[in-house]
Amino acid sequence: MDVPKQNNNCVGKRVKKARLALKPRLSQDALSGKLAGRGVIIDRTGIAKLEAGSRYVSDFEVKALAISLRVTVSWLLGAEN
C-alpha cells in the first residue's frame, strides 16, 4: 500500500533557502557537519528529506538549524519574512 506524500514539517523550504543564500553556499553535507558540531546528528540524506518536507523536525533540531544557518527560529517557522 502506498502512503500518500505529506509535508511533515514547515521549515524545510526555508532551510534550503537559507542554506543556499549563505555566501559561500552551504552544501547539505556541510550543514550536517555544522549540526553535528552542535550535537545534532542529521546526515546529508536527512537534510535532503527535511528540505523536501518528508522528515519530521524536532524543536531542538529547529533551534540548531537556525543557529547553523544564521537565521531566527521565527523565520524558519515562517513567522517572519
Q: Is the pLDDT of residue 4 over 60?
A: no
Number of domains in the chain: 1
Which 3 state secondary structure label does DSSP give 76? helix
Instruction: List the domain range (segments joined by +) for residue 35.
Output: 17-76
Band (pLDDT 50/70/90 cuts) for residue 70 is very high
Place of cell 505529506: 6
Output the 3-class SS for the chain: CCCCCCCCCCCHHHHHHHHHHCCCCCCHHHHHHHHHHCCCCCCHHHHHHHHHCCCCCCHHHHHHHHHHHCCCHHHHCCCCC
Confidence of residue 3 (pLDDT cuts 50, 70, 90): low
In a domain, 51, yes or no: yes
Let me know if residue 52 belongs to a domain: yes
- Binning pLDDT at 50, 70 and 90, where does residue 8 land? confident
Report if residue 1 sits inside a domain.
Answer: no
CATH number of the domain to which 55 belongs: 1.10.260
Task: Record the pTM.
Answer: 0.89
In a domain, 25, yes or no: yes
In a domain, 9, yes or no: no
> pLDDT by residue (tens digit) across 26-61?
999 999 999 999 999 999 999 999 999 999 999 999
